[in-house]
């Protein structure tokens, strides 16, 4: 995933160009690439017009889809439904921006609060009319952005679903830059090989796989809707919590660095009731976040949750990754 800071019209053009280039690499045809260009342009233009001086457009690539996430800290919307109607405008324009995005995207969600800005998520599939894996997309979402000025991100995350049971993996390569990214990529590759194992065994395997790298912090969370539990294993400074029922249960991660020092690898089980949400993040995000400041966000698309937390709590001096996942079966 990459980020374009949108604070003038040239940045809108840059966001569009990079999004279309990513789509071309995935095999989007000319029609779908053109539709993506329209969506990127509309979202970027909205950031300029309504974002209180601009915002950021995040672009992520799946196996057959492009995910766009527009984030701003502008005045927000008091009535999202009204603002979605064609012809509505608060900036003296035709007022067709978000309506056009909604029509072209296979998945589209908006979160906004007066005085707290807006987050807009849009997913476009290479297959056009086919949905962007809706069950998967509605269950989780994540943001992973390199430290400002770096091209390679030393954070990474991955997920695996085995029926209703979902496993979420996260790694924060030591430091940042290319060598941190090498460690992160190796960790994700090992997770893919070990994803069917218990969480403790996954972390053990990743620890061994990272011995020839600079290492990093790793964490595995296995969500089992049948038992209404999340089993969590953490090594290093990756934070995780289950949010739900008016409570926040912070998870325990042992000290250490995968690949170098792992004195104790232990799983802890946490209850997750109906409507609960798992949030995991690297230390590029401040731990002082709370969803209470954003009424209704917990029930919204998980990518909006991840995006809002990234927007408001990223430290700005390191790679930053945040993932949100539903704990109920899709």
DSSP string covering 196-209:
TS-HHHHHHHHHHH
Secondary element (H or E) of residue 308: helix 302-313
For residue range 118-176, list pLDDT tens digits in order. Answer: 999 999 998 765 555 544 467 899 999 999 999 899 999 999 999 999 999 999 999 98
For residue range 190-237, list pLDDT tens digits in order. Answer: 999 999 999 999 999 999 999 999 999 999 999 999 999 999 999 999
Answer for the pair 148, 120: CB distance below 8 angstroms, yes or no.
no
Answer for the pair 18, 59: CB distance below 8 angstroms, yes or no.
yes
How far apart CA 235 and CA 254 sit, in angstroms, is 5
In 210-298, alpha helices (H): none
Residue 86 has a pLDDT of 57
Residues of the chain with CATH 3.30.565.10: 2-132
Residue 329 has a pLDDT of 72
Among candidate residues 320, 311, 318, the one with its CA nearest the CA of residue 280: 320
Residue 132 has a pLDDT of 52
Range with the poorest average pLDDT among 81-85, 113-117, 291-295: 81-85
State the pLDDT confidence band at 82, using cuts at 50, 70 and 90: low
Q: How many CB atoms lie within 10 A of CB 135?
A: 10
Name the architecture of domain 138-326.
Answer: 4-Layer Sandwich (3.60)
Answer for the pair 169, 158: CB distance below 8 angstroms, yes or no.
yes
Residue 64 has a pLDDT of 85
Residue 28 has a pLDDT of 92
Q: Across the chain, where does the E strand assignment appear?
A: 2-6, 55-61, 65-72, 107-113, 117-125, 140-145, 155-162, 165-173, 216-224, 229-235, 239-244, 247-250, 267-271, 277-281, 320-326
What are the residues facing 141 on neighbouring strands?
324
Average pLDDT over residues 110-124: 93
How far apart CA 148 and CA 83 sit, in angstroms, is 33
Residue 94 has a pLDDT of 37
Q: How many CB atoms lie within 10 A of CB 147?
A: 22
- Fold of the domain built from segment(s) 2-132: Heat Shock Protein 90 (3.30.565)
Residue 95 has a pLDDT of 37
Matching residue, tokens 């070990």: 194
| 245-253 contacts at long range (C-beta below 8 A, 24 or more positions apart) | 245/273, 245/275, 245/276, 248/290, 251/221, 253/217, 253/219
Residues of the chain with CATH 3.60.40.10: 138-326
186 Cβ contact list (under 8 Å, min separation 6): 209, 210, 213
103 Cβ contact list (under 8 Å, min separation 6): none
Mean pLDDT value across the chain: 89
Handedness of CA 289, 290, 295, 298 (dihedral sign): positive
For residue 88, pLDDT over 60 is answered with no
Range with the poorest average pLDDT among 36-50, 69-83, 264-278, 299-313: 69-83
Residue 323 has a pLDDT of 97
């Amino acid at each position: 995933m990459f980020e374009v800071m949108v604070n003038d019209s040239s940045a809108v053009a840059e966001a569009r160009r990079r999004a279309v280039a990513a789509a071309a690499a995935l095999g989007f045809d000319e029609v779908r690439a053109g539709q993506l260009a329209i969506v990127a342009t509309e979202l970027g233009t909205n950031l300029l017009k309504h974002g209180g001086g601009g915002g950021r457009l995040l672009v992520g690539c799946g196996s057959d889809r492009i995910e766009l996430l527009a984030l701003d800290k502008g005045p927000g919307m008091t009535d999202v439904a009204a603002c979605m109607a064609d012809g509505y405008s608060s900036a003296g324009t035709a007022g067709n921006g978000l309506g056009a995005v909604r029509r072209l995207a296979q998945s589209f969600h908006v979160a906004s609060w007066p005085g707290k800005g807006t987050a807009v998520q849009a997913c476009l599939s290479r297959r056009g009319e086919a949905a962007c894996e809706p069950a998967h997309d509605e269950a989780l979402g994540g943001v992973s952005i390199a430290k400002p000025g770096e091209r390679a991100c030393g954070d990474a995350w991955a997920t695996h679903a085995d029926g209703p049971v979902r496993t979420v993996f996260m790694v924060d390569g030591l430091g940042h830059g290319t060598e941190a990214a090498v460690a992160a990529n190796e960790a994700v590759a090992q997770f893919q090989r070990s994803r069917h194992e218990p969480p403790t065994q996954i972390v053990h395997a990743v620890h061994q796989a990272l011995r020839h790298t600079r290492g990093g912090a790793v964490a595995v969370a296995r969500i089992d809707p049948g038992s209404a539990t999340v089993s969590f294993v953490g090594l290093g400074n990756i934070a995780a919590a289950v949010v739900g029922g008016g409570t926040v249960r912070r998870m325990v991660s042992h000290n250490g660095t995968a690949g170098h020092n792992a004195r104790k690898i232990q799983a802890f089980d946490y209850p997750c009731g109906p409507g609960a949400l798992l949030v995991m993040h690297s230390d590029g995000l401040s731990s002082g976040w709370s969803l209470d400041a954003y009424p209704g966000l917990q029930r919204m698309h998980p990518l909006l949750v991840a995006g809002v937390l990234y927007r408001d709590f990223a430290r700005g001096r390191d790679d930053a990754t945040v993932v949100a996942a539903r704990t109920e079966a899709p």
